[in-house]
Amino acid sequence: MIANRLIRFVATAVLLVIGLVGALSAQGRGGAPPGGGGGMGGGMPSFTRLGVLTMTLKLDEAQKKDAKEVLDQEFAAAEPLRKALLAARQKLGAAVQAADQAAIDQATSAYTAQATAMAAAEAAAVAKLVAHLKSDQAAPAAVQTVVSLMRGALAGKKWDTTPDLRFY
């Protein structure tokens, strides 16, 4: 129980620092998006997901290759989910614009079902990734970071992008 709380606290604190430092460095650049620019202007460098995974989990070359393979496969398999998620969100948007409460309720149910399916696919991808790790690499805090990192990874046009897109 205490360990779980500690992990949550540390993960949250890391997110806070990352977000605030990114935002502040963006402010210094005249309002550019937080964390952007790959380290330009003294801000923190941004990495793609594979870069963050590699450094966070200290992946060796073979593990890095395995991780890429796993995520390439999971991303390809998620194609129908991506389309369905976007379509569901667009339908919800249309219902909102029409101010049709019954349609909004129905579209919300459809959308959350797709969001859940996508989250399950991302969880499966993380689980497969973790299966390639050694025990000292799969500490709860590291897995927690990977879970956060992979949110939305299967929902965009590529998975190995700089993560900050929230998608759903």
Partner 1 sequence: MKSFISLVVVSLVLSAAVTEGRPDQGRGGGATGGAGGGGGMSVTDPTQFEQFVSKLKLNEKKQLPEVQKIFLDVAAEAAPIAQELTRLRTQMVAEYGKPDRLAPLEAAFNAASARMVAAELKAFAQVQALLKPDQLSKSADAFVLIAGIFNPPTPRSPSPMRRGGGGDQ
User: Which residues within the stretch 87-126 sit at the binding site for partner 1 (CB under 8 A)?
Assistant: 88-90, 92-94, 96-97, 104, 108-109, 111-113, 115-116, 119-120, 122-124, 126
Does 18 bind partner 1 (CB under 8 A)? Our answer is yes
Contact 106, 98 (CB under 8 A): no
Residues 42 to 71: which contact partner 1 by CB under 8 A? 44-48, 50-52, 54-56, 58, 64
Pick from 10, 66, 68, 86 the residue near partner 1 by CB under 8 A.
86
Q: Is 108 helix (H, G, I), strand (E, B) or coil?
A: helix
> Using the rule CB under 8 A, is 24 a contact of partner 1?
yes
Distance from first CA to last CA of the chain, Å, rounded? 29
Q: Please report how close the Cβ of residue 76 comes to partner 1 at its closest, in angstroms.
A: 14
Please, what's the largest Cα pairwise distance for the chain?
A: 53
Nearest CA to 78 among 110, 109, 50, 117? 117
Sign of the dihedral defined by the CA atoms of residues 47, 48, 50, 52, in that order: positive
163 binds partner 1 (CB under 8 A): yes
**Which residue number, 19 or 69, has a Cβ lying nearer to partner 1?**
19
